Each structure stands twice: as C-alpha cells, then as structure tokens.
Amino acid sequence: MQTMTIFNHETVALDGERYSDCEFRGCRMVYRGGEPPVFDDCQFNDCDWRFEDAAANTLAHMKLVWAAGGKATVQALIKTVTGATR
C-alpha cells in the first residue's frame, strides 16, 4: 500500500494496488482489468486515465453493444457506475 506519497508525471499501474492520502500530479493512470485499485482520500490533478488489455477489451465490447442497438443497456450501466438516479 502506498501512503502519503506524491506521484509527479509518472506512469502508475493501478491493478490490485491501494493508495491512501496520495496525490497524483500529471500522471498516466493505467488500469489493465485486474483487481480494481482502492483510493482512500487521494487527489488527482491533470491525470490521464488509460484502460489497457482486458479493461480496453471491456470498453471495446461496450462500444459494440451501443452500436448494435444496446444504447439503453450501456446507459443503464453508466448510471450504475456513476450512481446517477435519473
């Protein structure tokens, strides 16, 4: 677990990691579809979020579902992810 660390302009691998009271400045945040990371009281400034490997495949699949007429399904998933109630 990373605690009270400042990351500056680094590539940060997220899968299976835990971060507490960390600050990420101008970092490339890379998630590859493994165990989701945990962020406790972290700050993100001007970071670039990347989805690679299995995570990228999931996003590509969601794009295909949308294009095949599954717009409502994808929108419902987005609402679930964001906690939106409308």
pLDDT single digits (tens) 39-84: 999 999 999 999 999 999 999 999 999 999 999 999 999 999 998 8
Residue 32 confidence (pLDDT) above 80:
yes
The residue whose two tokens read 């400045």 is: 25
* CA–CA separation, 74 and 77 (whole Å): 5
Cite the DSSP H helix spans in the chain. Answer: 53-67, 71-82
Q: What is the pLDDT of residue 9?
A: 98
Q: C-alpha angle with apex 54: 50 to 56, nearest 5 degrees?
A: 40
Residues ≥6 apart with Cβ < 8 Å to 81: none
